[in-house]
Each structure stands twice: as structure tokens, then as C-alpha cells.
Amino acid sequence: MRRLIAIGASMGGIVAVESVISRLPADTPPIVIVQHILPAFTGPFAKRLDASGPITVVEAANGDALRQGVAYLAPPHHHLLVKSVNGEMRAILSAAPPVRFHRPSVDALFHSLAELESVDIVAALLSGMGSDGADGLLALRRKGARTIAQDESSSLIFGMPKEAIARGAAEQIVSLEELPAAILACLGSWETSRGATRGALAHLVRRRARRA
């Protein structure tokens, strides 16, 4: 099963995103990030994130194949979308009009993820002003993704997480300190669930074999 982590943030998100990325292990599934930031600072922010921990962080380029242990930051003036191309997840850059006054937009990214099939997705909406990402997070939750919102006490600006929570989009509401562990726990829950399912099926097969 393919896996993907998605993070959206705005004002107050620079520190929040770094706090999360720096504490994820090198074998983490691909990560896609939309951070509202002035265009001139996107490149330096990607370098700062890259130096913060074991995850490799790059500015996304159109057509990039999403790889384990790599985080892809939306570049200036383009929406970052994810499409499945010949069974492989790829970054797609779009110059479509701004969404909720933003390009890149968190909603644009999240809605593109909601269209993917057979992908386990963990999506987190962090500190930020406005409501970008709230509708997209709800779409993801309705598709079965694991969804997380940063709590009020640890958010510099609680606008975006608050809007997501009000819509019922957040499965979990956690502090910034708890976010990396919450993401990893979501990934682990799929392993546990599938392991239990495989064990139950194997047990059923053995019972049928004995009866035969």
C-alpha cells in the first residue's frame, strides 16, 4: 500500500513545520508541504528544513516522483498537487488561479489527495490565518484519511486549524509537541490493522484446511 503525509500551514507555520519535519525518521513516507510564505523565502525555507533533521527537503518540481524520506515543498506561484501516474505518485505543479487568495493553496493540495486511490494518507493542518485547508481536510477525512489539526494552545494563529475543527475535519487535535508522534502512530495503526487482518485470514484458512 502506498503512503503519503501532507502538511499545510500559514502564519506561524514556519516554526511549526520545522518542529514536525525535524523529528520524523529518515524512512518516513513521502511528505508534501504547502506553507504560505513570501516567494523569496521559499528556497531558504526548504534549505532550513533540509538541515533540520534526517528528512531530505526540496522544492517540488513538476513531475517529481514522490520518494520515501523526502519532503516536497510547494514552490512560489504554483499549486502543488499529487497525481498517480502509471501507479506512481508524482508532484504536479499548477498555475491555476489562487484558491482562497493563495497559490500555493493547502485546499488545492488536499483536494488532489482526496482523488487518489489506494493511498494511505495522513494530513495535518498547522498554525495559520484564514480557512485554507479546512475544506480539503474534510474531504480527506471523508475519504478515510487520518486527519490532524494543531491545537489552539500551541498555534501562533489558530485560524486554519479552528476552521477545520469546526467542520469536523480533524480526527485528532494535538499540540505541536505531539504532532510527530501522532503522525507516526497513524502510520503504525495501519500496520497493526493489516497485521490483524492477515492473521485472522491465515487462521481462517488453517481452520478450513483442518476441516477438509
Active site residues: 10, 36, 132
What nine digits make up the cell of 73?
515543498
The SS3 assignment for 164 reads: helix
Degrees (nearest 5) of the Cα angle 13, 106, 104?
90
Sign of CA dihedral 124, 173, 133, 36: negative
Beta pairing partners, 85? 88
Helix axes 134-142, 159-166, angle to 10 degrees: 40
Task: State the pairing for strand pair 172-174/146-150.
Answer: parallel
Burial 175-202 (b: 16+ CB within 10 A, else e): ebebbbebbbbbeeeeeeeeeeeeeeee
